[in-house]
Amino acid sequence: MLVEGPAGELSAITRRRRGAPPPARGGSDGPDPVSPSGLARLHLVHGFVQPTGVRSRLLRLPFLLVVLGLLAVWMAPPAAATPAPRVEARTAVVMDAATGAVVWQRQEHRPVLVASTTKILTALVASEAYRPDRVFRVPLAAERVDGTRFGYRTGWLIRRHQLLTTLLLASANDAAETLAAAHPGGRAGFLRAMQAKADALGCTDSTWRDPSGLDAPGHRGSAADLAVLGRALLGEPELAKLVGSPVVRYRWPDGHVQVLTNHNHFVSRGRDPGALGVKTGYTVRAHSTIVAAQRRGGRTLVAVALGSDRMYDDVRALLGYGFKARPKAGAEVLGVTAAPEARPAAHSPERVLPPPAERFTGRGPAPSPLVERLGLRLLAMPMPLAACAGAGFLVVGALALLWLRPGRR
């Protein structure tokens, strides 16, 4: 039985039952009884008791993770260089068609036998020299020419488009001789026109002595010059359509129609999406030769392989490398692509990137040099590593927002 005493005694009992408040820190009663060794006092956070010092360190954790992430990006090595293509050809080059810049080359300016890739230049001269409705009479020299013939007979009348079709798709030497013989200056005049056209396009290494590409004395071309000629042909709609066609319908003089398959397997076999042409060739002395063009992802490349026994493998390796790489700073520019004052000197990184003020935001003031360098490092990282870094930054940002949200104690 509880007997009530004085009011002061009941108050003391009540305080003992509710728990007396801890003495004030730094008071005259001595050290805090809860932390006798001087540790920070405890606070209850979501049901867990944490020292305020520990919580302070946890608040710093997201910022520490951000700093570590930025250091990882800064110290990450750039993406590994693309391995050089494995090419068997004696001379070779892969060129960016838009700029003429060389992406990779092997003795690109060495004049060698080029076989029927010569017909690229023959077609360019013929399409420029003769009207589209021109009809040609087949000369005796065409019927007797050595090498690949389509079957034209002396005296037959053949239209320009038909001759260009068999010249480029069937590599017809009799078509080349028919076109050359019709020149106002005769065959010799046509050869002079071939040399003049090549010179005007910026070719520097080649001499042209045969419209078909047979191994005539002094007939030589370089991989660099053939890349320039291949790009020029792609700029002519009629010729570009022909070399990029897997098959075409050809009408003979007697009216019957034949389906011609492109001799260039890079186009006709359908294994190479985006293949644009251009021309193959072969003689015993020249071995296989090829000028190939392909478009991927908005870029067009021209690859040339001369003196190869695996020409299709070679150009696939060249193009595969070219689409993964970019012309290096100071890369050579082939042919005439623009007026000298307007031609870009090289594909340096500064030319590839937009102006500094627009690199990351597209507008507004330029970022600080540190931010810009970090951004460029991120862009240079391999894709999987860059994706992981981006995901890590998102996680760190989310943690920081959670820790710093209003009302958190």
Our CA dihedral for 352, 349, 336, 303, rounded to 10 degrees, sits at -90
- The single residue listed with the structure tokens 């990029």 is 244
Taking only the tens of pLDDT, the chain with its 409 residues reads 444 445 454 454 444 555 555 555 544 454 444 444 444 444 444 444 555 555 555 556 666 666 666 666 555 555 556 788 999 999 999 999 999 999 999 999 999 999 999 999 999 999 999 999 999 999 999 999 999 999 999 999 999 999 999 999 999 999 999 999 999 999 999 999 999 999 999 999 999 999 999 999 999 999 999 999 999 999 999 999 999 999 999 999 888 999 999 999 999 999 999 999 999 999 999 999 999 999 999 999 999 999 999 999 999 999 999 999 989 888 999 998 643 333 343 333 333 334 433 333 344 444 455 555 555 455 545 555 556 666 666 776 677 666 666 655 5
pLDDT at residue 84, rounded to an integer: 87
CB of 87 closer than 8 Å to CB of 108:
no
The catalytic position among 127, 171, 222, 308 is 171
Q: What is the CA radius of gyration of the chain?
A: 38
Q: Which two three-digit tokens encode residue 409?
A: 């104690």
The catalytic position among 116, 206, 245, 288 is 116
pLDDT at residue 170, rounded to an integer: 97
Per the document, the length of the chain is 409
Q: Which two three-digit tokens encode residue 104?
A: 């990779």
Phi and psi (nearest 5°) for 286? -80, -20
- d(Cα 193, Cα 116) in Å, to the nearest integer? 18
Nearest to 352 by CA among 325, 384, 370, 389: 325
Measure the CA angle with vertex 324, ends 320 and 329; round to 5°. 120
Active site includes 119? Answer: yes
What is the three-state SS of the chain?
CCCCCCHHHHHHHHHHHHCCCCCCCCCCCCCCCCCCCCCCCEEEECCEEEEHHHHHHHHHHHHHHHHHHHHHHHHCCCCCCCCCCCCCCCEEEEEECCCCEEEEEECCCCCECCHHHHHHHHHHHHHHHCCCCCEEECCHHHHHCCCCCCCCCCCCEEEHHHHHHHHHHCCCHHHHHHHHHCCCCHHHHHHHHHHHHHHHHCCCCCECCCCCCCCCCCCEECHHHHHHHHHHHHCCHHHHHHHCCCEEEEECCCCCEEEEECCCHHHHCCCCCCEEEEEEEEECCCEEEEEEEEEECCEEEEEEEEEECCHHHHHHHHHHHHHHCCCCCCCCECCCCCCCCCCCCCCCHHHHCCCHHHCCCCCCCCCCHHHHHHHHHHHHCCHHHHHHHHHHHHHHHHHHHHHHCCCCC
Please state the separation of Cα 317 from the chain's center in Å: 14
The catalytic position among 11, 28, 56, 119 is 119
CA 331 vs CA 163, 271, 312: distances in Å: 38, 30, 25
Active site includes 171? Answer: yes
The domain over range 92-324 is classified in CATH as 3.40.710.10: yes
Please state the separation of Cα 343 from the chain's center in Å: 20
pLDDT at residue 408, rounded to an integer: 53
- d(Cα 161, Cα 275) in Å, to the nearest integer? 22
Phi and psi (nearest 5°) for 149? -125, 150
